[in-house]
Structure 1
Amino acid sequence: MSKSLLIISRQAPWSGPGAREALDIALAGGAFDLPIGMLFLDDGVFQLSSAQQPACVQQKDFGANLQALPMFGVDALYVSQHCLAERGLQELSSSLAVTPLNDAEISALIDHYDQVITL
C-alpha cells in the first residue's frame, strides 16, 4: 500500500528553487498514483495568485505548471487562511480548486499524512 505524502510549499514562485522542486515532487508522485496533497504556507501562497507577471522577472509562467496537478491526480490542494490574510490575499483569484484551512485544520491535515516534505 502506498504511503500518503503531503508537500508543504513555503516559497514564492521565483524566490528560489523550492517552489519548483515542490511542484516537481508532486507531479512525479502523482504520475505514480501516490496519494499526494499540497499545502501552500507563508510566501508559498503567492504561487496561487493569478495576478503573477513572470515576464517581469524573465521567468516562465509558474501557474501553468500548477494547472497540471489535477491531471496527475493531485487534487488535494490546501492553503493557509492566516498566510493569505497576512499577505493581503483574502480574495485569492486562483484557477485551482484550493481549500483554505485555519491553523487547527492545518495541524490535523499534517497528522493525516504518512510523510511530509517541506520546501
Structure 2
Amino acid sequence: MPKSLLIISRQAPWAGPGAKEALDIVLAAGAFDLPVALLFLDDGIFQLLANQNGAAIQQKNLTANLQALSMFGVDDVYACSHSLIERGISPAGLAVADVQSLPVEEVRALIDRYDQVITL
C-alpha cells in the first residue's frame, strides 16, 4: 500500500520556485493515484487568491493548476484559518472552491495523519 503524502506550501505564488514545485508534486502524485493532500500555510495562502496575474514578472499563473487538482484525484486541499485571518483573506475570495479551512489545532492533527510530509 502506498504511503500517504502531505505537501505543505508556505511560499507566496512568485516568491520563488516553491509554490510551483509544491503543485507539481501534488499533481504528479495524484496522477499516479497516490494518497496525497495539499496544505497552504503562511504566505502560501496567497496562492489561493483569485485573479492573479504573473505576467508583469513573466511568471505563469498557478490558478489553472489549482483548479485542476480534482481532475488529478486530489480532493484534500486545506488552508490554515489562522494564516487566512492574519492576511485578511476571506475563504469566499479563494480561487479554489473546495479548500477546507482548518484551525491551527486541526492543522497539527492533519500533519500527524500522513506518513510523509514535504514542506516547500
TM-score under structure 2 length normalisation: 0.94
Residues 66-113 of structure 1 show CA distances to partners (whole Å, capped at 9, x for unaligned) of 111111111100000100111110344124210000011001100111
State the partner residue of 1:105: 106
Query: How many percent identity over aligned positions?
Result: 63
Quick one: distance in 1 between partners of 2:91 and 2:78?
15
Quick one: distance in 1 between partners of 2:21 and 2:60?
15
The structure 1 segments of at least 4 consecutive aligned residues displaced by more than 4 Å after TM superposition are none
Paired residues for 1:52-71 under 5 Å: 52-71=52-71
State the partner residue of 1:26: 26
Count of aligned pairs = 119
Please report how far the alpha carbon of residue 65 of structure 1 lies from its aligned counterpart in structure 2 after TM superposition. 1.3
Quick one: distance in 2 between partners of 1:44 and 1:105?
18
What amino acid maps onto 2:103 in structure 1?
N
State the partner residue of 1:93: 93
Quick one: distance in 2 between partners of 1:117 and 1:60?
23
What amino acid maps onto 2:117 in structure 1?
V
**Residue 14 in structure 1 maps to residue 14 in structure 2:** yes
State the partner residue of 1:39: 39
Quick one: distance in 2 between partners of 1:20 and 1:58?
14
What amino acid maps onto 1:98 in structure 2?
V
State the partner residue of 2:4: 4
Q: Which runs of 5+ in 2 are unaligned?
A: none
Quick one: distance in 1 between partners of 2:91 and 2:5?
28
Cα root mean square deviation, aligned: 1.1
Question: Is the partner of 1:77 in helix, strand or coil?
Answer: strand
